[in-house]
Structure 1
Amino acid sequence: MWFGKKLLMFGFVCATWISVSRECGLGQTSINNRCQDYDECEEKPSICGNNSNCINTNGSYYCQCLSGYKGNHGKTNFTAVEGPCIDINECTENLHSCGHLAICQNQIGNYSCICMSGYIKNSSSPGNCEDINECKEAEMKNEHICGEKGSCENTNGSYWCKCETGYTNYGNERTQCSKLSCGRFSVDNKPMQLLGGLADMLSMMRNSCLTLSNPTTSDEKKADGEALLEKLLTATDSILSPGPVDSSEGVTELLGAVENSILLIGPQLIHNKTKIETTQTDAEIAVQRGMTRPTGAIHLTNDHASLSTDWTAAAGTGAYPGFAMAGLLSYKNLEGSVNRSFEELEQQEPGPSFQIFSKVVSVVVSNPSTQNLSHPVNITFRHLQDIKESPELSYICAYWKEKGAWSTDGCSQQQSNATHTVCTCKHLSSFAVLMALYPMEPNFGLMVVTKLGLAISLLCLILSILTFKFCRSIQGTRTTIHLHLCICLFMADLIFLAGISQTKPEGGCKFVAGALHFFFLGVITWMLLEGVQLYRMVVLVFNATVRPLYLFAAGYGTPLAIVVISAIIRPEGYGTPHHCWLSLDNGLIWSFFGPVCFIVILNVFFFIITVWKLAQKFASLNPDLSKLHKIKAFTVTAIAQMCILGLMWVFGAFLFQAGLPAVEYIFTILNSLQGALVFVMHCLLSKQVREEYANFFSCICTPQKKRYSDLSTTNPSSSQSQVQKAMLENNEERGAAIL
């Protein structure tokens, strides 16, 4: 645009020259019929452009660039056609006089000299720089640039601090000397000696601390931060790998030792952010160094938790030693060691039971005043399990106090969902999310059904036990199985009714849970033997018998072995805060529910084969039995036998899903009335047993003399026909009773 305007102006001047050339020379104009020079430099805007001077000549003109500029074509004198003036970069063309202690910075038409860090412009020679004596300036201002226990020594362009024994600047020469408290790594405490491996870890950190605080120690002997952090976490793994920590004091000592060690290691880290993961821990540490206090947000995260805070809270408001640190450490398996000590919480909020519901997390910052932070920190925890919201539970943010107990002081829940909980805390320590389980309101209907059904079952089981024990006409392998099934079921129902809710004392509750585990397993094991015996009777040999010793070994030995192994592996799983039964938290419930499922599947197999074979025998043994009678007998015995063989436990699988009251009632009714079903199925529906009952009651109710007269007047032929008829009926009912 500029060049176009100048070209038009130049063309206009040329045209003027041509028009007057006939009378005046080139670059002249006619004034009062006299030829005079035309001054092109008076034109506005200037014909030479910016950053230049226009010089008029007789009949012409030329342009010259100002100082710091040069012509576009490299000419000293030029015209408007040859282009504008451009800036000269004195820094790249080495036309400056800044000296070796300053940095040249180009400007439009000029340049400036900026002194390097640690230098200032020389007043006598503005282009040169001289060293700043930071030590002398700090002394004049009465400032401790190296801290109270550090001596400042000036160097060319900088300075460095020399610390006294017991103080260090962690290898950062321009950092204030900080006091090292190596005594906090002392091993002369009894709780530390109780926790294996903790004394060795503290001894290692104490030696590192003493080495760091000794000013005569060479840099080669000082361990770098990353290597020392890896050694610390490896030592922590060796402490936690054997299993849960037994005492609360040991947990407190371990957490405190690790936090103090990270405070020592953090300033020695080389990188601004360091992340290390081991089998037991997951650590991430951020460090900022410099003379000015850092600002901005901090975000640290791992698979179990995340930390959100800022550098103002991490560095503190007091004296700034030249570095700031923030660390997040997650313990992968420590929750099992601290899933106790809820006494303080139970006093504050009586009623619910508490349990750890996240990984234990430690937050460490360089701020010496962590009990009253200027800004609260936000910690987001990942739940150990995904559980839908329920009025029976809530999530609580808590920290581990030095006395070895959980507390909620200064921590509050900000928000929570099925997978995560965000906690806001005004102080720093080791934190976790606790799940508060509020006791559910008892279902009055289920309680009535359970107690009434168990009372009926206990009465029926007593009658069944007496029948199977003293009724001689039905003695055999199946009767032995029925007898001991009833004994196990009687003991299980009796213990359940009397002790299921007696959670105190804890040892008694564990015994009740173990006894219930044994006897209920005995019930389903004898049910399996019932199915096996039915299979043998119908499929293999119709009148098969098994020695009682083998039955006892299987019926009582198998449940005893399962209970003993379960008690050895998971002793803490026996007894819950509300019931004396198996805990659902550690998988121990599958030591009961697993055998139940296995036996139910086996019994289904035996039941199907037995029914199929027996249906064939019905047709061959009873050809005159009507079809309707066959279907009726088959259906009644099949349904009853299905209940006896334990298929009702299938409904128990659906109890793991809440909100199914119909299933709860079905399961409760069927299980509480098992004793009554056994009595009805194997006593009242058995003709032999009914005859034994009739004979027993006739002995009590009928006079002795009358019974003899009745026997003597009986017609022999009539008696023989009745016996034959009874034998035929017994054969018909025998096949149905097998089911």
Structure 2
Amino acid sequence: MLPNMEMKWALLLLGSFLLCCESRECSIGFKIKNKTCVDEDECETPSQCGDNAQCINTNGSYYCTCDEGFRSNTPNFTADKGQCLDINECFNKKVECSGEKECVNTSGSYNCTCPKGYRDSECGDEDECLSSVCGVHSKCINTPGSFFCTCYPGFDKLENGTCADNNECEDPEVCGTNAKCFNLPGRYRCTCHQSYSNYGNDQSKCIKMNCDEFKIESDMEEMPKQWKDLLTRLRNSCESLSGPNGGSQAGEQLLENLFTSTDELLSGGNITSGKMLSQFLDTVENSMRLIGPQLKEPVTRMETHNTFAEVVVTRSQTPPTGSVTLSTDSALFNTSWETVVGKSYPGFAFVALVSYKDLDTSGHQFHKISRTSQEQESREGEITYQLNSKVVTAVVSNPETKQLSEPVMLIFTHNEERAESGGVAYSCVFWNKAEGAWSGRGCERAWSNSTHTGCSCSHLSSFAVLMALYPIQDSFELVLITRVGLGLSLVCLFLCILTFRFCRSIQGTRNSIHLHLSVCLFIADLVFLCGISSTHNKVACAIVAGLLHYFFLSAFCWMLLEGVQLYRMLVLVFEKTIKHLYMYAVGYGVPLAIVIISAISYPQGYGTDRHCWLSLEFMWSFFAPVCIIVILNSLVFVMTVWKLAEKFSSLNPDLSKLRKIRGFTVTAVAQLCVLGGMWVFGCFLFQHEGTQVLLYLFTILNSLQGALIFIMHCLLSKPVREEYCKLISRICSQKEKKYSEFSTNASSNSQRPLRSDQTTGESKI
């Protein structure tokens, strides 16, 4: 029963509660539904939390949260308090954009976008100039992310940003006083007066044209026809340029015509006088002044058979500045654009360098030089001048080049590599057209070595490097050594000739070789002593040089025969000799053939200005055979010594033969050292000019070779010494006999008076 009572009570209480609830209102956040209080969903009302927020319902209440990219100014705000504010992600670089993109904040988010003036996903620059963003007479210049407008040349920008034509002719200096200015849209034109030209550059000032420079004068009749035709074409071009229409530019064709005519003139040897050379160089210089401004290319190089040229041309509104360098095959020219332009700038400038390859080597030997000092005048007959570089012509657009504001530099390559010494001096010269001679006025040598010379000149013309060859006077000591030594050698060689000819105990093939060797050296020394200085007569000097060439070569050929004979004696064991016919063919025939061939091929090589001997460039005709003979004999002597050593090492050597071989070998080697060594020193002397030690050694060995041969082959030879002793004994015995007979006759005749011979009429003792 108890449970039933409890249930009754529970039902009674629930009914009471429900009855109570029906009799009153629901709490905040609840609403009555079906007579009960249920939760009210506040989020059903739109914009309950405002913009950029979301409403979250709760039991009996609600709260608001901000959308992503926004933040609330109060936590858990509701509609009556707080709001959602945008988060600036780009503030303080909280977000990094790649590449060139920029961060742009948006409501609740951000974007990475390209800056203005850039396009596509990689933010490439947008070329605004592809569309017509600038007005007429203006040019659009695109820049990274932007652009700007500039007026074309000849137009000025007005305040409203448009471009209007600029009247350049309002400035009287724009065309100068020698032309009339015409204004055109965006430009102007200078029309030159008669006899003036701006070489087709109608916005340049006009310069005076002197077409008479290309006039064929009466004294040019000697010039070839092609050269006259060239002058005619140049004159026509000059007159066309100075006409009312300004002419047409044909610089390249004129330059080719100029050098074609120059080649013919130089190759034909038509320049035969200083006056013609002056006319030639003056015409080339004037032609380059006419042709240079007509060339279209900034740099023009042209090479022909006899010429090499380089021309540099510049055209601009402002004068060029800085250094400019030109070069040809043989010279380098350096100057400044300020020097090239000069005092007035007509709107263009040019500089040219022309090199003549065969102006000196084709027979045009104009080595006359104007004198400025008494010392040079006093030595004029002694000094020999020679061009040691190609002749070059330097031309610039500046018409005033007689006295430049700053010197120009020219570097020449020597034709002949030769260093300066006591007998050689280099000077920088130019061709003085008025004097018809080379002159050094206004040109100084800056530096020089064996291959190049640098020249600094204060004017422009045609230049070259002149080599002065000063005569080197032989010292008294060398002359004395030469004369005394050669005199002694002649006496000794004469004794050698008598000994080898009449000494019976030493007769044989080797003795014959020594005889002819002594004869050749005797004649060579005698000719040298009497005729080496006969330079006043060129024919006689050439003959002396030819005789010396022949007999010295013959002496070396006989030395070669001695080496061959020594080898035959050793190998063939004293059984064989050389036939005399073969010896004469080698000893006298071979040198004769060499001299004849040399004289025919280069007759100028015999005789120099100082001595009657071979010229330096022709010395090979003597040294080449000598070197071959010395090398062959050296090999023979080495083999001889080797064979001699083998015989000494044998068990039963033939001592008499060995002594003989040893004696022959020693004298032959000594002879080779005397004659060969002398010319070895001479070779070094020519290669190292001015070495006093070599000079004295060469002189001593050359002058005493006869005495040394006499010592080696006569005094040091036992058979010859024995013959000398016998001769001296016979001479002494003859003197004693004569003295004895004289004493006997004197004593007998003293007893009787003198009487006359009836047959001869002479007195007898």
Regarding TM over 0.5, the answer is yes
User: Displacement, 1:575?
Assistant: 1.2
Please, which of 491, 494, 512 is the counterpart of residue 459 of structure 1?
491
* Distance in 2 between residues matched to 1:312 and 1:515, nearest whole Å: 60
Match in the other structure for 1:183? 212
User: Displacement, 1:250?
Assistant: 3.9
SS of the residue 2:455 aligns to: strand
Given that 2:292 and 2:350 are in contact with CA atoms closer than 8 Å, whether structure 1 keeps it comes out as: yes
Structural mapping, 1:96-107, within 5 Å: 96=133, 98-99=135-136, 101-104=137-140
Identity of aligned residues (%): 41
Match in the other structure for 1:294? 320
Deviates more, 1:362-371 or 1:486-495: 486-495
User: Highest CA radius of gyration, 1 or 2?
Assistant: 2
Structural mapping, 1:546-557, within 5 Å: 546=581, 554=589, 557=592
CA distance 1:657–1:677, shift in 2 (3 Å):
same
User: Displacement, 1:208?
Assistant: 3.9
SS of the residue 1:546 aligns to: helix
User: Displacement, 1:153?
Assistant: 3.8
User: Displacement, 1:435?
Assistant: 4.5
Match in the other structure for 1:544? 579
SS of the residue 1:321 aligns to: coil
Please, which of 371, 390, 396 is the counterpart of residue 344 of structure 1?
371
Matched, 1:118 2:118: no
* Distance in 2 between residues matched to 1:275 and 1:161, nearest whole Å: 30
Please, which of 317, 321, 333 is the counterpart of residue 307 of structure 1?
333
Match in the other structure for 1:638? 668
Once the two structures are superposed, residues 389-417 of structure 1 have per-residue CA deviations (whole angstroms, 9 ceiling, x without a partner) of 76765543332322333332222233445
Please, which of 652, 668, 674 is the counterpart of residue 699 of structure 2?
668
* Distance in 2 between residues matched to 1:545 and 1:176, nearest whole Å: 91
User: Displacement, 1:268?
Assistant: 1.1
Alignment-mate amino acid for residue 650 of structure 1: V
SS of the residue 1:371 aligns to: coil
Given that 1:397 and 1:412 are in contact with CA atoms closer than 8 Å, whether structure 2 keeps it comes out as: yes
User: Displacement, 1:447?
Assistant: 4.0
**How many pairs align?**
640
Given that 2:446 and 2:456 are in contact with CA atoms closer than 8 Å, whether structure 1 keeps it comes out as: yes
RMSD: 5.2
Matched, 1:332 2:357: yes
Please, which of 259, 277, 295 is the counterpart of residue 233 of structure 1?
259
Matched, 1:370 2:406: no
SS of the residue 1:193 aligns to: coil
Matched, 1:172 2:201: yes
Once the two structures are superposed, residues 87-106 of structure 1 have per-residue CA deviations (whole angstroms, 9 ceiling, x without a partner) of 5699537474622x122457
Matched, 1:426 2:462: no
SS of the residue 2:352 aligns to: strand
User: Displacement, 1:315?
Assistant: 0.9
Given that 1:477 and 1:546 are in contact with CA atoms closer than 8 Å, whether structure 2 keeps it comes out as: no
User: Displacement, 1:367?
Assistant: 0.6
SS of the residue 2:551 aligns to: helix
Deviates more, 1:670-679 or 1:331-340: 331-340
CA distance 1:483–1:257, shift in 2 (3 Å):
farther
User: Displacement, 1:272?
Assistant: 0.8
* Distance in 2 between residues matched to 1:345 and 1:485, nearest whole Å: 54
Matched, 1:589 2:622: no
* Distance in 1 between residues matched to 2:151 and 2:462, nearest whole Å: 48
User: Displacement, 1:266?
Assistant: 0.9
Given that 1:249 and 1:404 are in contact with CA atoms closer than 8 Å, whether structure 2 keeps it comes out as: yes
Given that 2:339 and 2:398 are in contact with CA atoms closer than 8 Å, whether structure 1 keeps it comes out as: yes
Match in the other structure for 1:279? 305
Match in the other structure for 1:58? none
* Distance in 2 between residues matched to 1:193 and 1:288, nearest whole Å: 38
Structural mapping, 1:607-618, within 5 Å: none
Alignment-mate amino acid for residue 240 of structure 1: L
Once the two structures are superposed, residues 203-254 of structure 1 have per-residue CA deviations (whole angstroms, 9 ceiling, x without a partner) of 45344434544556974xx53x233323323333333346796544443333
SS of the residue 1:172 aligns to: coil
* Distance in 2 between residues matched to 1:85 and 1:625, nearest whole Å: 114
User: Displacement, 1:299?
Assistant: 1.9
* Distance in 1 between residues matched to 2:509 and 2:221, nearest whole Å: 62
Matched, 1:129 2:166: no
Match in the other structure for 1:158? 187
User: Displacement, 1:274?
Assistant: 1.4
Alignment-mate amino acid for residue 449 of structure 1: I
SS of the residue 2:346 aligns to: coil
User: Displacement, 1:519?
Assistant: 2.0
- Structure 2: tracts of 5 or more residues without a match: 1-66, 94-100, 118-125, 742-765
Please, which of 359, 362, 375 is the counterpart of residue 390 of structure 2?
359
Matched, 1:564 2:599: yes
User: Displacement, 1:15?
Assistant: 4.3
Matched, 1:379 2:379: no
CA distance 1:133–1:245, shift in 2 (3 Å):
same
CA distance 1:653–1:549, shift in 2 (3 Å):
closer
Matched, 1:405 2:437: yes
* Distance in 2 between residues matched to 1:613 and 1:623, nearest whole Å: 12
- Structure 1: tracts of 5 or more residues without a match: 1-9, 29-37, 41-45, 50-70, 708-739
Match in the other structure for 1:711? none
Match in the other structure for 1:516? 545
Given that 1:186 and 1:203 are in contact with CA atoms closer than 8 Å, whether structure 2 keeps it comes out as: yes
Once the two structures are superposed, residues 511-548 of structure 1 have per-residue CA deviations (whole angstroms, 9 ceiling, x without a partner) of 42552243233222254156447747857953622299
Matched, 1:92 2:122: no
CA distance 1:637–1:256, shift in 2 (3 Å):
same
CA distance 1:680–1:72, shift in 2 (3 Å):
closer
Deviates more, 1:243-252 or 1:324-333: 243-252
* Distance in 1 between residues matched to 2:546 and 2:188, nearest whole Å: 76
TM-score by length of 2: 0.68
Given that 2:226 and 2:261 are in contact with CA atoms closer than 8 Å, whether structure 1 keeps it comes out as: yes
Given that 1:488 and 1:520 are in contact with CA atoms closer than 8 Å, whether structure 2 keeps it comes out as: no
SS of the residue 1:276 aligns to: strand
* Distance in 1 between residues matched to 2:221 and 2:734, nearest whole Å: 78
SS of the residue 2:618 aligns to: coil
CA distance 1:249–1:696, shift in 2 (3 Å):
farther
Given that 1:683 and 1:689 are in contact with CA atoms closer than 8 Å, whether structure 2 keeps it comes out as: no
* Distance in 2 between residues matched to 1:186 and 1:461, nearest whole Å: 73
* Distance in 2 between residues matched to 1:631 and 1:475, nearest whole Å: 17
Once the two structures are superposed, residues 101-134 of structure 1 have per-residue CA deviations (whole angstroms, 9 ceiling, x without a partner) of 12245799997653212233568xx444343444
Matched, 1:323 2:348: yes
User: Displacement, 1:296?
Assistant: 2.1
* Distance in 1 between residues matched to 2:351 and 2:514, nearest whole Å: 69
Please, which of 585, 598, 608 is the counterpart of residue 575 of structure 1?
608
Structural mapping, 1:208-219, within 5 Å: 208-215=237-244, 219=248
User: Displacement, 1:477?
Assistant: 8.7
SS of the residue 1:344 aligns to: coil
